[in-house]
A and B are shown apart, each in its own frame.
Chain A
Amino acid sequence: MQRSTGLGPHEESILEPPLTAVPIVTARSNATADSALVNRAKLGDIEAFTAIVERYHPRAVRFARGLLRNQQDSEDVVQEAFLRVYRALPRYEERQRFDAWLFRILGNCCRSANATQYRREVVDVDDEVALERVAAPETTDGRFELEFGDEVRRALAEVPDYNREIFLLHHIEGFSYEEIEKMTGVRQSALKMRVKRASDFLRAKLAGVYRG
């Protein structure tokens, strides 16, 4: 499933994701459905707004957990973002894709939260205790997945905020550089550099952990 595309190391390549990849909810497939829901929500239809929240809440939580310094704030920050979205709905215009608009607001909320919260909490104490208690897992694969997942998150938390945010928007939430440029106002070339720095950092960190 991996193939050589002849592209340079810093250019984007189009790959088939590995079979076990979790599919990204692509914006295209949701565009029409979003449009109808958003229009209804703008008119005050609370059930349409509920549907919008249900549709995006897991992604918003995923993003917030990746970006926030203090993961325990995730729920609060996501809630604040959705409330802002709700209050700003009358002013939302369809020119911009809804999810891009949502994530712009969410990103701002996360950044504000990070600015006021300098405590760095990579792994919460209870989690460590829980991990130690997993003495004899069912399969070795399961155990390896568990460790790898936590290592990834620890490493991600060490990536500087401004690089991490763009990395998450691009590689995890699936926004293109062009879309992110519109969302953040940062030039595409600068965005690519941030993603590269985050990627290099993660790769190095994880390779160091799993050497050999």
Chain B
Amino acid sequence: MMSRMHRVPRLAAATMKSLVVMVLVAASVTRQAGAQAAVQQATDLETRLAQRLDAETHASVMKVVDSARVQQLPVEPIVSKALLGATFRQPSAVITQSVNVVFQRLVASRDALAPTPTPGDIRAGAEAIALGVPSKTIRDLRSTFPDRSMVVPLAVLGELVANKVPVDRAVGMVRELMRRGASENQLVAFSEKVRDDISKGTSPSEAIATRIQGLIAILPTAPAVNVDAANVNGAGFQNADGRKKP
């Protein structure tokens, strides 16, 4: 098992070097925030859309993009949705409708994550809303952690809900893990393990109840007493045989 670890990087040594350069370049490029860069991005965006959409669809998508810009919402989700539709040869009316829906989700996300969400937060919130997470839930999570990035927590929350974990339980888990100091990567790993369990036939409730025990055990702010499932949070957490703990 150990030898696998360095075999692949060795075989891809040349690519790794160019990738370092690429990531470093990407990192430095993203720091450009000048007006000139903004204008250039606007042109590129129009070009990207124009190359793949017919004139009519392009015009209606650009209207939504302009509205988003006016409201200082991130426009990439709108562009991405339109081009996804183009790739899958969706009718113009369907693409137009879907970008409008994306716009509404972005607005709802921004409001739920007030007062100062980052573009990444807003994008993540919009995706979570699309996956079935209520705006109110996002708002509550934000109020618990007003200063933390919501990008990964919302992505994880969205995935849990998409995997049929009840919303209250899913947000209870995420909140508790964040409160106990789980890193973003630990949150991601947690959601992947839960998803794997579910894909193998475990019920969503059982999967998260089990996996959260594993993560809680190693987080720094573990309580002095034995961690019991029911103590994790009061939001309707059940023990293994399905009874609600008082």
How far does the alpha carbon of A75 sit from the alpha carbon of B1 in the complex, in Å? 11
Instruction: Please determine whether A146 and B220 come into contact, CB atoms closer than 8 angstroms.
Output: no
Q: How close is A53's CB to chain B, nearest CB, in angstroms? A: 11
How far does the alpha carbon of A22 sit from the alpha carbon of B24 in the complex, in Å? 11
How far does the alpha carbon of A124 sit from the alpha carbon of B181 in the complex, in Å? 40
How far does the alpha carbon of A45 sit from the alpha carbon of B220 in the complex, in Å? 8
Instruction: Please determine whether B3 and A124 come into contact, CB atoms closer than 8 angstroms.
Output: yes
Q: Does A47 contact B (CB under 8 A)?
A: yes
**Interface residue total, chain B, C-beta cutoff 8 A:** 16
Instruction: Please determine whether A126 and B20 come into contact, CB atoms closer than 8 angstroms.
Output: no
Quick one: which of A22, A45, A127 contacts B7, CB cutoff 8 A?
Answer: A127
Q: How close is B6's CB to chain A, nearest CB, in angstroms? A: 6
Q: How close is A17's CB to chain B, nearest CB, in angstroms? A: 12
Q: How close is B11's CB to chain A, nearest CB, in angstroms? A: 7
Quick one: which of A44, A45, A72, A134 contacts B3, CB cutoff 8 A?
Answer: A72
Which residue in chain A gives the minimum CB-CB distance to B219?
A46
Instruction: Please determine whether A50 and B13 come into contact, CB atoms closer than 8 angstroms.
Output: no
Instruction: Please determine whether B13 and A46 come into contact, CB atoms closer than 8 angstroms.
Output: no
Instruction: Please determine whether B14 and A127 come into contact, CB atoms closer than 8 angstroms.
Output: no
Q: Does A212 contact B (CB under 8 A)?
A: no
Residues of B within 8 A of A130 (CB): 7, 11
Residues of A within 8 A of B219 (CB): 46
Residues of A within 8 A of B181 (CB): 46-47
Residues of A within 8 A of B199 (CB): none
Quick one: which of B3, B6, B14, B220 contacts A46, CB cutoff 8 A?
Answer: B220
- For residues 33 through 68 of chain B, which have their beta carbon under 8 Å from a beta carbon of chain A? none
Residues of B within 8 A of A74 (CB): 2, 5-6
Quick one: which of B5, B14, B220 contacts A142, CB cutoff 8 A?
Answer: B14
Residues of B within 8 A of A23 (CB): 20, 24
How far does the alpha carbon of A46 sit from the alpha carbon of B181 in the complex, in Å? 8
Instruction: Please determine whether A126 and B3 come into contact, CB atoms closer than 8 angstroms.
Output: yes
Contact with A along B1-30 (1 / 0, CB 8 A): 011011100110110010010001000000
How far does the alpha carbon of A18 sit from the alpha carbon of B181 in the complex, in Å? 43
Q: Does B143 contact A (CB under 8 A)?
A: no
Quick one: which of A20, A47, A75, A150 contacts B5, CB cutoff 8 A?
Answer: A75
Instruction: Please determine whether A75 and B2 come into contact, CB atoms closer than 8 angstroms.
Output: yes
How far does the alpha carbon of A46 sit from the alpha carbon of B219 in the complex, in Å? 8
How far does the alpha carbon of A127 sit from the alpha carbon of B2 in the complex, in Å? 12
Interface majority SS (helix, strand, loop, mixed), chain A:
helix
Is the interface on chain A under 10, 10 to 19, 20 to 34, or 35 or more residues? Answer: 20 to 34
How far does the alpha carbon of A134 sit from the alpha carbon of B7 in the complex, in Å? 13
Contact with A along B203-239 (1 / 0, CB 8 A): 0000000000000000110000000000000000000
Q: Does B202 contact A (CB under 8 A)?
A: no
How far does the alpha carbon of A75 sit from the alpha carbon of B4 in the complex, in Å? 12
How far does the alpha carbon of A112 sit from the alpha carbon of B63 in the complex, in Å? 67
Which residue in chain A gives the minimum CB-CB distance to B184?
A47
Quick one: which of A45, A47, A149 contacts B13, CB cutoff 8 A?
Answer: A149
Q: Does B137 contact A (CB under 8 A)?
A: no
Quick one: which of B2, B3, B17, B183 contacts A47, CB cutoff 8 A?
Answer: B183
Q: How close is A105's CB to chain B, nearest CB, in angstroms? A: 21
Residues of B within 8 A of A39 (CB): none
Instruction: Please determine whether B7 and A72 come into contact, CB atoms closer than 8 angstroms.
Output: no
Q: Which 8 A-B pairs have the closest CB atoms?
A: A72-B2, A46-B220, A145-B14, A124-B3, A149-B13, A47-B183, A126-B3, A142-B14
Which residues of B pack against A, CB within 8 Å? 2-3, 5-7, 10-11, 13-14, 17, 20, 24, 181, 183, 219-220
> Known pairs A47-B183, A150-B10. 19 more at Cβ < 8 A?
A20-B17, A23-B20, A44-B220, A45-B220, A46-B181, A47-B181, A47-B220, A71-B3, A71-B6, A72-B3, A73-B2, A74-B5, A74-B6, A126-B7, A130-B7, A130-B11, A146-B11, A149-B10, A149-B13
Chosen A-B contacts, 30 in total, with CB atoms closer than 8 Å, are A20-B17, A23-B20, A45-B220, A46-B219, A46-B220, A47-B181, A47-B220, A71-B3, A71-B6, A72-B3, A73-B2, A74-B2, A74-B5, A74-B6, A75-B5, A124-B3, A124-B7, A126-B3, A126-B7, A127-B3, A127-B7, A127-B10, A130-B7, A130-B11, A134-B11, A142-B14, A145-B14, A146-B14, A149-B10, A149-B13
